[in-house]
Structure 1
């Protein structure tokens, strides 16, 4: 593994069931994610996906790629646009650095969440691989 290597993409369509499961796990029941009347009053036709769900997908992509022995050390990301229920997302990643030390290799990955040709979120993950 070296800088420039691509991480296998993670693709998901985020539906209502996914959003309900995530809300239940995080106790985030903001009306933006489920209340049709609240959404219509704000000019929105569908529920908005909780942005923190993208953190879970970014972590999942790196963890799945590196395997069960890897440990996610840091994850930072920024939301750039809304994603709505029923939209498909594609998480991409590129290795930007690998540093070997006493704990193992520290792998840094730049990631993006893409939706219909736009970047919905971007961030950086660091994981230690023994």
Structure 2
């Protein structure tokens, strides 16, 4: 198990989100909101590209923590707030810092930024993990 202390940086998770990934996610979750794939719908709303489903960011934040702490660590809570849209074919970076350790409960503050231009996609965000 990884030793964890306040101030530790969670290893970054960087992921390019392709349109094919978004369509697979929509199929897996039965979320066929047209803003995630339909060019005519997007054009009517003056959106430059399909919008990444917001719940993808919850999955990425959870993945970031699980990759670091391993499969025996259990996510007790996860919270996140959207700041900006992310579009198909953009790359995001999840970052995080340990802010508290109380016995086997670790608190982590996280955020998601778009690599191409640095805009914050998700913040505040964070989780509590039971070790």
Question: 1:126 is matched with which residue?
Answer: 128
Question: 1:32 is matched with which residue?
Answer: 35
Counterpart among 73, 88, 106 of residue 85 in structure 1: 88
| Number of equivalent positions | 125
Measured in 1, the distance between the counterparts of 2:5 and 2:46 equals 46
**How far has the Cα of 1:57 moved from its partner?**
0.1
Structure 1 outlier segments of 4+, above 3 Å: none
Question: 1:63 is matched with which residue?
Answer: 66
2:35 alignment partner, SS class? helix
TM-score (normalizing by structure 2): 0.93
Counterpart among 34, 50, 55 of residue 53 in structure 2: 50
Segments of 5+ residues of structure 2 without an aligned counterpart are none
Segments of 5+ residues of structure 1 without an aligned counterpart are none
Question: 2:100 is matched with which residue?
Answer: 97
| RMSD of Structure 2 on Structure 1 (CA) | 0.7
**How far has the Cα of 1:17 moved from its partner?**
1.2
**How far has the Cα of 1:14 moved from its partner?**
0.1
